[in-house]
Amino acid sequence: MDERVFKTIFVVLLLASMMIRVPYVLKHLKGVTAISRTHTKQSVLVCIAAIGIMVIPLIHVFSPWLSRFDLTMPTWARLIGAVGFAMAIALYGWTLKMLDGNWSNVLEIRENHKLITAGPYRHVRHPMYTAFWLWVIFQGPLLSNAAVWLVGIVTWAITYCLRVADEEQMMIEQFGRQYEQYMWKTGRLWPKLS
């Protein structure tokens, strides 16, 4: 299959993810933040993640600079990459829809913040982060490039590891026993087996 097909799939899905996000960014701008947690650290982490999920893949799509890291992958592997990447964007959209006005880019408690435990939040505490894991895992085979794959996984791993514990601590401080009970029933990225 033509290389341009895979690059187009990536760009279309990336644009879709940006468009899905717009209404929630606008809602966030209109709303009020009640508690903000370690703002600078979290903003830096969001930028680090953006390098791996957007900047490097787009450099690869629109310039020849990363072509020395191109991999030779069979079409079936690239198609699996495309399907997995589309699933990541769909899950990302679903989590945004469920979080709605409670969503923020950084760690915040909004005015009238509600604990969401429905939809993808029923069995998993951080399904949006699951979506970003799927994103960085599948964009590698979709674009068939080692730099895209490695930088995506490493930058997201750094952001995830330095964010998730702070987020859960913030949620416990805000929701107390309600969040602790929710933690017993749910897994961080995947549903609990038992």
Binding site for ligand SAH (CB under 6 A): 95, 99, 102-104, 107-109, 115-116, 121, 126-129, 167
Shortest Å, Cβ 116 to ligand SAH: 4
**Minimum Å distance from CB 97 to ligand SAH?**
11
The beta-strand segments (E) located in 27-138 are: 33-36, 108-110
* Minimum gap (Å) between residue 174 Cβ and ligand SAH: 8
d(CA 172, CA 179): 6
**Considering only CA atoms, which of 20, 22, 6 is closest in space to residue 138?**
6
Q: 111 is written with which tokens?
A: 């005015």
Residue pair 81/135 in contact by the 8 Å Cβ criterion? no
Q: Of the two residues 102 and 139, which places its CB atom closer to ligand SAH in the complex?
A: 102
Closer residue to ligand SAH in complex, CB, 12/192: 192
How many other C-beta atoms lie within 10 A of the C-beta of residue 30? 7
Please, what is the minimum distance in Å from the beta carbon of residue 144 to ligand SAH? 28
Closest to ligand SAH by CB, 79 or 122:
122
